[in-house]
Amino acid sequence: MAFINSVELDYPVDEVFKVIIRTAKRDFANFNPKDPIGTYTTKTAGNYGVKQAKVRVEITDYKLNELYQITTVRDKLMFVSTYRFEDLGDSKTRFTLEESDCTEGFFKAMNGMIQNFVFKKRIKNRFSFLVQGLENEILTYREKVEKAKPKAVSE
């Protein structure tokens, strides 16, 4: 079972990717932009629920300005989140998030049916929130770059 959400952004692909990677650098202490595959961290999942669990999050695929993939594992449960970046030209980017449940066995099929029925709207809302946050980070980054530029001397 996979959920795929996509949006066209009015920003160049390298800028969108850079903001995602800045976030990855905060999440993964040993992030190496030249070879990030295999970098992992341990987090607590379920912060908003009654049950909390430790999960391992690992970068499992990475291509500069094209792809960023993380895999989250807890016990026998495995979820893969793939972020794709497509350069559309004219400073536009198609940003796609695919979230897949890669858990093996009977519960995968049952879980997929339940997720599709119960969580579809929640996942779309979460994607919209992600895109909004991404756009805000891009604007903040642009402001910082603009402020850091030397001021032009008036004649």
Residue 117, pLDDT score: 57
Per the listing, tokens 């897949």 go with 100
Residue bearing the bigger pLDDT, 10 or 122: 10
What integer best gives the mean pLDDT of the chain?
A: 85
* Residue 62 confidence (pLDDT): 96
Answer with the residue of higher pLDDT: 45 or 10: 10
The secondary structure of the chain as a DSSP string is -EEEEEEEESS-HHHHHHHHHHHHHHH-TT--TTS-TT-EEEEEE-TTSS--EEEEEEEEEEETTTEEEEEEEETTEEEEEEEEEEEEETTEEEEEEEEEE---SHHHHHHHHHHHHHTHHHHHHHHHHHHHHHHHHHHHHHHHHHHHSPPPPP-
Query: Is residue 119 very low, low, confident or very high in pLDDT (cuts 50, 70, 90)?
Result: low
* Greatest mean pLDDT among 15-24, 50-59, 108-117: 15-24
CA triple 100-101-103, angle to 5 deg = 145
Confidence band (pLDDT; 50, 70, 90) for 77?
confident
Chain segment 61-75, per-residue pLDDT in tens: 999 999 999 999 988
Could you tell me which residues come within 8 angstroms of residue 46 by beta carbon, excluding any fewer than 6 positions away?
Answer: 52, 53
